[in-house]
Amino acid sequence: MIKVQELAKMIDHSILHPTMTDADLVRECAIAKKYDVASVCVKPYMVKQAKELLKGTTVFVGCVIGFPAGNSTIPVKVFEAEAACKDGAVEIDMVINIGKALQGDWDYIEEEIKAVTDASHRNGAIVKVIFETDYVTKKEDIIQLCEICTKVNADYVKTSTGFGFVKGSDGKYDYVGATISNLLLMRQHSGPKVKIKAAGGVRTLDQLIAVKEAGCTRCGATATTAMMEEAIRRFAWYKENIRRI
């Protein structure tokens, strides 16, 4: 049976919305601490404060790079990663150059991912590479990205930012985020040392369990409280009733 703590240690609690303030950071870090999740994923300027707020816990501090559009130059992404590590981040979630991926410029993409990965590793941090699968939708492109990440020793491949909104025919914007089919594809085509992170659209306990079963060891989430409270209720009920059998 899955343990509640096992699910908690899948969660990268996301504190990334553009409107979030320092007060929001304090509140959300308290949530991360309460449930003892894997990490918080914060905006670059929040790293120092998040590190201080989570001192003495087992919750890691992660930081996004080139977020959310991925358009910064390679040297800028490297600088961002190094600065985040200096401030205390031990996990780096970088967004690839989406336009370069869509045009098939794989040499550029490999150079970019390798540069950020190498810089992060030199500074003691792991790297999660965000593909943005609402934009990079072709299977062959996702496979190519997985192969590149494997080649350059990235630690994770990751589906989405949660901000990859696509304009529909009605003029409204929406996104899908992580899908089981993409997660299975990523697991199949990534090397055994590369882990998988789902992000975007995982809001319920059942969805969290589903991405775990698809091979994910991490999941980005804002609905941490709802998922963890449901896990506590559900598994407490299971333990109580299994004793009666």
Average pLDDT over the chain reads: 95
Question: Residue 94: beta bridge partners?
Answer: 65, 129
Q: pTM of the prediction?
A: 0.94
Task: Give CA–CA dist 45/53, Å, rounded.
Answer: 14
pLDDT confidence bin for 237, thresholds 50/70/90: low
Average pLDDT over residues 110-126: 98
Q: Are strands 156-158 and 126-130 parallel, antiparallel or unpaired?
A: parallel
124 with 90: CB under 8 angstroms? Answer: yes
Cβ-based neighbours of 204, under 8 Å, separated by 6 or more? 223, 226, 227, 230
Using the predicted structure, report yes or no on whether residue 79 has a pLDDT greater than 50: yes
Confidence of residue 236 (pLDDT cuts 50, 70, 90): confident
Domains of the chain and CATH, by start: 4-242 (3.20.20.70)
The CA dihedral of 182, 188, 189, 194, to the nearest 10 degrees, is: 100
Backbone phi, psi, residue 204, to 5°: -125, 165
DSSP of 89-123: --EEEEEP-HHHHHTT-HHHHHHHHHHHHHHHHHT
Looking at residue 75, its pLDDT comes to 98
Query: Looking at the annotation, which residues are catalytic?
Result: 93, 158, 197
The yes-or-no verdict on residue 244 having pLDDT over 80 is no
Q: Residue 73 burial by CB count (10 A; 0-12/13-18/19+): exposed, middle or buried? A: exposed
Sign of the C-alpha dihedral, residues 137, 177, 172, 104?
negative
Average pLDDT estimate for 53-58: 98
Backbone angles phi, psi at 215, to 5 degrees: 110, 5
Mean pLDDT score, 73-97? 98
Residues 165-201 have pLDDT tens digits of 998 889 998 889 999 999 999 999 999 999 999 999 9
Report whether 128 contacts 93 (CB < 8 A). Answer: yes
Cα separation of 54 and 48, whole Å? 10
